[in-house]
Amino acid sequence: MIKKTDEKKIPCAVIYTRVSIDEQASQQHNLSVQERKCVEYCSRHDLEPTGFEPVLPP
């Protein structure tokens, strides 16, 4: 038997950000700006960020 609870399930999201070239990393498209915008999106859409994966240029 499974006990039912009133606990609300919150959808989760993993944030994946990347830049292709070093110039992007130092400009307005840098990883921290992308992460902030993604977290803001999650807040507006009732999502819980559960991970963050930044990808830098090779």
Q: What are the residue ranges spanned by the domains of the chain?
A: 12-55
Give yes or no for a contact between 58 and 22, defined as CB atoms under 8 angstroms apart.
Answer: no
pLDDT for the residue numbered 4? 39
Question: Would you say the pTM of this structure is higher than 0.75?
Answer: no
pLDDT for the residue numbered 6? 55
pLDDT for the residue numbered 20? 81
pLDDT for the residue numbered 22? 77
pLDDT for the residue numbered 42? 92
Low-confidence ranges of the chain (pLDDT < 70): 1-8
